Structures are given as structure tokens and as C-alpha cells.
Amino acid sequence: MLGRLRSSFTAVAVAFGAAGVFACSDRSEVTAPTDRPEVASGGAQGPDLRAALAAKARYSNQLLKQQGVAGIAVGLGRAGNAVVKVYLMRPGAASVAKSLDGVPVETEVTGEFRAVLPSAQPGEVVNPRARFERPVPIGVSAGNLNDLLYLHAFCTTGTLGARLKGANGAYYGLSNNHVFAVENLAQKDDPIIQPGQADQRCRATDADQIGTLETFIPLNFGSGTNVVDAAAALVSTATVDNQTPSNGYGRPSARTDEATLGMKVQKYGRTTSLTHGTVTGINANVKIRYSRGIATFLDQVIITGTNGDFSNSGDSGSLIVTENSRNPVGLLFAGSTTRTIGNPIDAVLSELGEELGTTLTVE
């Protein structure tokens, strides 16, 4: 999301950071995983998603070309049946068929999906998020010390999502590209700080450093496609801890899980702290607005908050985990006023690990 705030933070859909995790014990109410679309978890019969997945794949590009379509996913209909969900930027924004190859279509007005961070101008009074003693917990304000140099007129902040450990023995802090790497503008070894610049009136210093930018997955704007909005900072156990503050979910599990429809999830982020939600869309293809342009993402996870918003501006980079077992399932990076979008966590770990030349696990 790309709103730029001047004197206060607004409630815009998140797009700069979050992730999620799921556990076996959390899957009693979910629909079939994508590798077994005819069966729900635990062996119970569930809605067969195969026809919906095929219809979504066949018509996704055609639908996304319509200006008023924000995204398309596979979900559950009002009757609990498999449907293709089409997300609209406003009521009546696009012409959508009632069914695709015999699969029912349901439209939801979500507004535009954005990757937005809270921002501030130098010297402006804002509501700062706390500076934590080192090692800092996960789920708190963080960012790139040099973002004001790259953005010129304003600074931003997002969320430190998790601490990762590489098979090479190194530790990494996880967040979004647009949080740590400023939408491809940052340089390797840039200082990563806590709190982020916007929570320090754009006056952060080297004393706030918790690590250095090690790598990021470049964002493709325009005609290219993306799967993850992710970046990793080189950190240590002395600067970054592996659990949330005391009012959060605690320490995430090292075991990741695939998002499934109906899965209960939670996240802890810089703006809205601990929130709970449900996976309502999988295999989603969505258009995301950034400050540098529109980026198309494939195979994303859609989450609806349980009681109000699941996320807001500044929660980008948050880890999304399952409700009971705290298994990571996604990295929060974007959303609208009604929905949150996460990258599949396995894709995040795989792509960053390939860049780093090692295998990564959530610690």
C-alpha cells in the first residue's frame, strides 16, 4: 500500500509486511489443502476445489485486465461450496459472469489492494512506536535507516516479522522488500533499524541499528509477475529475539504450513499488534499498488479479520501463523480496508534462501 501520511497514521490496507503459520491441530475446520483438493484435513470429506482452481487459472488473466478488478482467488461460497472469488475495487466496477465453466462466481468489494507504510516528514510529530531493549522482539517497528535518502521527502516504517536461521549458521531478520529494501531502491549493507524512521520523526541514527540489509527479492512492476515481497537483514541473537512482546502470540514454530480455506490465523504487527483472522481465499492473483507502480502477485493468501481489521498500514512484514500451534503460513505485505494479503511462507523462505545460498527456517 502506498499512502503517505503527513501528521498521523491512517487506517489503510497493509501491504508492507506480514507472514503466517499453521499447524496440524489447527486444521480441523479447514478445507482441502491444494495438493489434495478433494479431501479436508484429518481425512474428513470437504469441498472439492479442483474445478474452482482450474476455472480460476483459466480466466485469471482475462479478469485481471479489467480495470476495476483487484484480484481473483478460490474460496468458499455462502453455502460452503467451492467458488471463484473476484475482488472489486468498487461496486459495479467490472463485468463478471455468474459462473465460470460451471463454477459459481462470487464478487466481493474490497477496494484497491495496496502496499502502504506509515510515513512522516522530517521533524514532524507522530505517534512513535516504542524502542525496545536489545535483543528486540519480533512484530515491532523496523525499517531502513537510509529510506529518507531514497524517498527524499518522507520516511517510513514497517514490521520486523521473524528471526530466521540459515543452515550456514547465520541469523536473519525477515520483513518485506518495501520495508527493508524500499521497493528495490536500497543497497546491500544498508543499516536496518528499530524502531523505523517514521516512528522517530525521521531522526533515527546508527545507534538504532539491529542489522544490515543482506538480500531482497526484486519487485517486478508493470508486465512482470511476483510471488513474494521479501527481504532479509543480517542480524545476531544479541540484536533480534525470536518471540513477540508479552501481549503477542509468543514464539513461532519452526514448522511451516500451507494456508487452507477456513484456517484460523493470527499475527503480531507494529500497528495493530495481535489480531486474529480466517483464510478466506487461496491461490489468489492480485494487483497491488506501490509508490513506484502496480505489481501483480500470483498464488497469494487472502485473510479476513475476525473482529475488525486483521492489519493496517505499518503491519507489513508481519509473520502470519496458525492460531493454536503458531506454525508460519505467510508474510503479510498488502491489503485493503477489508482484506489482508500474505505471501506463502514456504515461497518466501525458498526464494530468500536461494539468494543467500542456504536453507532458511523460522526460529
Digit-coded pLDDT (tens) for 129-179: 779 999 999 999 999 999 999 999 899 999 999 999 999 999 999 999 999
pLDDT confidence of residue 48: 92
Q: CA-CA distances (angstroms) from residue 194 to 212, 213, 298, 339?
A: 12, 13, 31, 27
Domains of the chain: 17-114+260-340 (2.40.10.10), 119-246+352-362 (2.40.10.10)
Angstrom distance (rounded) from CA 95 to CA 92 = 7
Specify the higher pLDDT residue, 233 or 307.
233
pLDDT confidence of residue 26: 28
CB 23 within 8 A of CB 263: no
pTM for the structure as a whole: 0.86
Give the helix/strand (H/E) hosting 104: strand 103-109
pLDDT confidence of residue 121: 57
CB 107 within 8 A of CB 115: no
pLDDT confidence of residue 130: 79
Q: What is the residue-averaged pLDDT of the chain?
A: 87
CB 231 within 8 A of CB 176: yes
User: Residue 216 pLDDT more than 70?
Assistant: yes
Confidence of residue 71 (pLDDT cuts 50, 70, 90): very high
User: Residue 2 pLDDT more than 60?
Assistant: no
* Sign of CA pseudo-dihedral 306, 311, 315, 318: positive
Note the helical H segments in the chain: 50-64, 147-151, 345-356
Note the helical H segments in 132-269: 147-151
- Residue 356, phi then psi, degrees to nearest 5: -85, -10
pLDDT confidence of residue 59: 97
Which three cell numbers, joined as nine digits, stand for 123?
A: 521533524
* Sign of CA pseudo-dihedral 130, 131, 133, 135: positive
Angstrom distance (rounded) from CA 194 to CA 207 = 9
Confidence of residue 289 (pLDDT cuts 50, 70, 90): very high
Angstrom distance (rounded) from CA 247 to CA 233 = 25
Confidence of residue 35 (pLDDT cuts 50, 70, 90): very low
Beta bridge partners, 100, equal 103
Which three cell numbers, joined as nine digits, stand for 110?
A: 474490497
Query: Which amino acid is it at 325?
Result: S
Provide the residue count of the chain.
Answer: 363
User: Residue 34 pLDDT more than 60?
Assistant: no
CB 160 within 8 A of CB 143: no
Confidence of residue 118 (pLDDT cuts 50, 70, 90): confident
CB atoms within 10 A of CB 224: 10
Quickly list DSSP for 276-294: EEEEEEEEEEEEEEETTEE
User: Residue 243 pLDDT more than 70?
Assistant: yes
Cis omega (within 30 of 0) on the bond before 135? yes
pLDDT in tens, 306-353: 989 999 999 999 999 999 999 999 999 999 989 999 999 999 999 999
Confidence of residue 15 (pLDDT cuts 50, 70, 90): very low
pLDDT-above-90 percentage for the chain: 79
pLDDT confidence of residue 163: 99
* Separation of first and last alpha carbons in the chain: 28
Residue-wise burial string across 238-262, b where 16 or more C-beta atoms lie within 10 A, e elsewhere? ebbbbbbbeebbebbbebbbbbbbb
